Every structure is written in structure tokens, then in C-alpha cells.
Structure 1
Amino acid sequence: MTERMIENRVKKLQEIEAQQKELEAAADAIRAELKADLEEKGVDELKTKNFILRWKEIISSRLDSKALKAALPDVYGQFCKESASRRFTITA
């Protein structure tokens, strides 16, 4: 691609990302409204003609790696593994 083509693609990407943020904000607002309605009704599940809405507390157990590293650094080191990834960024 030429530099001009890259500039145009980056601008188009920025426009799409801005639209995406606006749509995500609108979706979040609707989710919050639905959750508030479930809480107001005092239910964690609601059935309509076409949908089932659920707003339930989920309890899970997760490893506190920071605490493990502090308490047992040797054990922590034995079970750590490195991973590699690539990050794509655009800066002005």
C-alpha cells in the first residue's frame, strides 16, 4: 500500500472504532436498564415471549497468583510459563 492508502485506511478504522464505541455505550445503557428492571422486580430470571433474561450472581474460585508468589515464590516459579503475543497499535 502507498502511504496515502495507509492514511485513508487508518482514518476509516478510526471512524469505525468511534462508531463502535457509540454502539457499545448504547448497548451498555440498554443492558443497565434491563438489569435495573430485574432488580426492581426482585427476580434474577425473567421470561418473555421470545427471550429469557438472567441476572444472576455467579461464584467462582480463582487463583490469587500475587498472594501465591508472595507466600511460596519457589512453587509459583515452577508453575509459571511465558507466553508471547503481538500487539498492533496506531499512534498519531
Structure 2
Amino acid sequence: MDMNELNATAQNLISVRQMIEELQAEAEALTDKIKAAMVEQGTEALQGDGWKATWRNVNSSRFDSKSFKQDHADLYSQYSRATTTPRFVLSV
């Protein structure tokens, strides 16, 4: 791929990422509208033509590795392992 093609591809990627951000913001605004309707109606579930929305609390339990590391540094270092992953960054 020559430099002109690379420039065009990078610009296209930047443009697509901007569109994704705009669409995510729009999806969040639409989600907020549905949530507001649920609060207004005092319900955790709504249903329409071909869709159903639920909004409720979900309990979960997660491991607090930061606290564990502070309290048990020796065990943390014994059982932690380093990993390497590729990361692609395109900055403007």
C-alpha cells in the first residue's frame, strides 16, 4: 500500500471512529429516554412491537485485586503473571 492509500485509509478510520462516537452518544440519549419512561411509569420492564426493555439492579461479586495486593503483597506477586498484548494506536 503506498503512502496515499495509507493516508486515505487512516483518514477513513478517523472518520468512522467519529461516526461511532456520535452514534454511541445518540444511543445513550435514546436509552436515557426509555429509562425515563420506565421511571415515570414506575416499572422495571417495558415492551413494545418487537422489543422489550428491562432496567433493574443486578448484584455481583468481584475480586478486589488492589486491596488484595495491599494486604497480601507476597501472595499477589506469587500468583500474578505478566502478559503482553498488541495495542494499535492511531492519534490525530
* TM-score in terms of structure 2 length: 0.89
Q: Secondary structure at the match of 1:6?
A: helix
User: RMSD of the alignment, in Å?
Assistant: 1.3
**CA distance in structure 2 between the aligned counterparts of 1:25 and 1:76, rounded to whole angstroms:** 39
Name the count of aligned residue pairs: 92
Q: Secondary structure at the match of 2:5?
A: helix
- Identity among equivalent positions (%) equals 27
Letter in 1 for 2:38: L
1:2 aligns with 2:14: no
**CA distance in structure 2 between the aligned counterparts of 1:71 and 1:38, rounded to whole angstroms:** 43
Unaligned runs of 5+ in 1: none
Where do 1:1-92 residues align within 5 Å? Answer: 1-92=1-92
* TM-score in terms of structure 1 length: 0.89
Structure 1 runs (4+) greater than 6 angstroms displaced: none
Letter in 2 for 1:36: A
**CA distance in structure 2 between the aligned counterparts of 1:68 and 1:77, rounded to whole angstroms:** 11
Higher-RCO chain (CA-CA 8 Å, sequence separation at least 6) = 2
